[in-house]
Amino acid sequence: MQKNDKDEKKLASGGHSTGGSGPGFKVAFLAASTSGAIEASLMYPFEFIKTQLQLQSKTNPKFSSPLSVAKITIQENGVLGLYRGLSTLFIGTVAKATTRFTVYEFVKSNLPKPKDGSYRQHIMHSMFGGAVGGACEALLVVTPQETIKTKLIHDQNSPPAQRKYRGLVHGVTTIVQQEGFGGIYRGLSATVLKQSTNQMTRFGVFYTIRYLRTGDPAGKMGVHEAFIGGALAGAVSVFVNNPIDVIKTKMQGLEAAQYKGFMDCAKQIIEKQGAAYFYRGVTPRLARVCGDAAITFAAYNELVAFYKKLIS
């Protein structure tokens, strides 16, 4: 029972930490934002390719496969074309990390402590905290970030002379002028649902893997173990909510006005594209999310140790 109480304190204060006592808000914030920036730099082209496949029409497709997206984009816009919309992810990284970790830790610290210290209750608390944190980051950060990114990517499909946006600042200004402030909040319901299920799934799967590997809810994992555990957690989350991600992308594209809401978008996709379309872009998204989760989980613990030494 004494061991379980100790584990509970570690989980409540440690967030994503893969062992040891909680890092504290400042260290957790720095480690999360840095690992997020590293992940975004390395994995963004997969996000770009996934979004392009989800945006294109089935009746007149421009791309035939993930590789064709990369090839055509590089031919038309150069290698940097694969990073169209990246700036919105970087700007949103700090705000997203702050929201996710503060909300996650606040929720977990205010939940009733498991009476028997059971591992199952620890996991349920982590999943619930992740779901609430994901919903809050969707409301405050991810929806405008994803809407702007999606519109910038979609706009790139037009001939250069017909493109609406010259860059991030011009894009945001134009969207607000033409559609109002709500224009950067397209697909809010889908994004909240996506982010909450994402974080709920990833926290639950990763903590389960960590427990199976170490026999301890707060057990220490090596970098390679955290990398593999994060990749598996990311893979599960993709298959759980890829349909939500497709709906979100459609509702945030340049043709978003044709959808009345989440259910109407889902209905139109089924009627026009077929149910299989809900897994459009799943291959590049799987690569991107697995890499995302693997890098984030593996890097986070190492960065926590680094920032603890730097700040102390």
| pLDDT tens-place string over residues 153-205 | 888 778 888 888 887 788 888 888 888 888 888 778 888 999 999 999 998 89
pLDDT of residue 74: 94
> For the chain, what is the domain count?
1
Indicate the length of the chain as a whole number: 312
Are the CB atoms for 242 and 297 separated by under 8 Å? no
pLDDT of residue 116: 60
Q: Above 70 in pLDDT, residue 2?
A: no
Rounded Cα–Cα distance for residues 195 and 200 (Å): 8
Identify the top-confidence range among 107-111, 145-149, 273-277.
Answer: 273-277
**Which structure tokens are listed for 232?**
């598996």
Average pLDDT of 106-120?
74
pLDDT of residue 196: 95
pLDDT of residue 101: 75
pLDDT in tens, 61-72: 888 888 999 999
Judged by average pLDDT, the poorest of 55-69, 113-127, 219-233, 254-268 is 113-127
Q: Above 90 in pLDDT, residue 44?
A: no
Rounded Cα–Cα distance for residues 13 and 109 (Å): 7
Helical packing angle, 188-214 and 282-311, nearest 10°: 70
pLDDT of residue 20: 41
Rounded Cα–Cα distance for residues 192 and 138 (Å): 5
Cβ atoms < 10 Å from Cβ of 76 = 12
pLDDT of residue 23: 61
pLDDT of residue 138: 92
Greater confidence (15 vs 270) lies with 270
Q: Above 60 in pLDDT, residue 292?
A: yes
Nearest to 132 by CA among 226, 205, 55, 200: 200
- The DSSP call for residue 217 is T
pLDDT of residue 218: 62
Q: Above 70 in pLDDT, residue 231?
A: yes
Nearest to 193 by CA among 150, 145, 246: 246
CATH of the domain at 50: 1.50.40.10
Question: To the nearest whole number, what is the mean pLDDT of the chain?
Answer: 81
Print the domain residue range for 84. Answer: 2-311
Rounded Cα–Cα distance for residues 195 and 241 (Å): 9
- Name every residue whose Cβ is closer than 8 Å to that of residue 224 and which is 6 or more positions away in sequence: 298
